[in-house]
Structure 1
Amino acid sequence: MSRAWTDNTLLQKETRLTTGLRCSGIGGCVCARHGVVRRQGLGDLKKGERYANMDYILLSALLGVTLLAITISYDIACQWKIHLSTRAEKIKDDSELATDLGSFEIQFALPVWHAAAHEITCQTQNSLSYTTGVGRTDGEGIERT
């Protein structure tokens, strides 16, 4: 599964181009191998891309999934994954989403093209190119979609 969003959303999050708009972009979950959008895997972004929006979209897309392991490719996975489980617990407590991230074995990775924008140590630790079980998946399917 690949998670990402358009780079323009970050660039335009506080500009006059988005002033007064109800949403500044979309975030989504797309199968990195097949390009299929996950059920309940798209959502509006308010004021740019925030962890809360992407967390909610991920939890919605994983609702009812019976997988044992999942790889999440996201262009800021190195930062976003740090407190994801804590944020997910808060969302689970405050909403109808009962997705328990603890029930999955989760790998996080940077999409191949986006990894080039990260520091070398981050690239080597988090690149999808070095992730077990993903073959030659580039993780950029969300960008093509």
Structure 2
Amino acid sequence: MRPELETFQRLLTERGYRVTPQRMGIYEYLLDTKTHPSAEEIYQALKDRFPMMSQATVYKTLDLLLELGLIAQLGLGGQATRYDGNPDVHVNVYCSECHRIYDVMEPELPKLAESVARRSGFVVKGQRHEFYGICPECEARRSARMQER
């Protein structure tokens, strides 16, 4: 079993939650996907594998994973909440054309958190970084359309 899944299983047991195939499947799906899916997308992707799973199970499991710090939640103004199986500090880059979200590992982020803590006096408990723009694929399509005119 993957170390992340072992950790989840251990945390569930320590906190008195049942370890169910559905919970494990939802977390495994988030670990394996890079698409930052919504709860509905997770449900649709897993409903055939777990026919008895309800949408409520997905939402409750996502809440639990968030509480345990194993996933991150992304709210992108006006869109369904999305979920990221990578809780490590990184940058999310959102394409305003195709609505895909890309992860960018930025090695300077820990230094930024230290600087913010030092300057503000805060005990920084977390950080979130989002950039918005147009991905290379969408920009190439845009440029091609402009050249056709």
**Larger strand share, 1 or 2:** 1
Larger radius of gyration: 2
User: Whose helix fraction is larger, Structure 1's or Structure 2's?
Assistant: 2
Length-normalised TM-score, structure 1? 0.24
Q: Using CA pairs below 8 Å that are at least 6 residues apart, which structure has the higher relative contact order?
A: 1
TM-score (norm: length of structure 2): 0.23
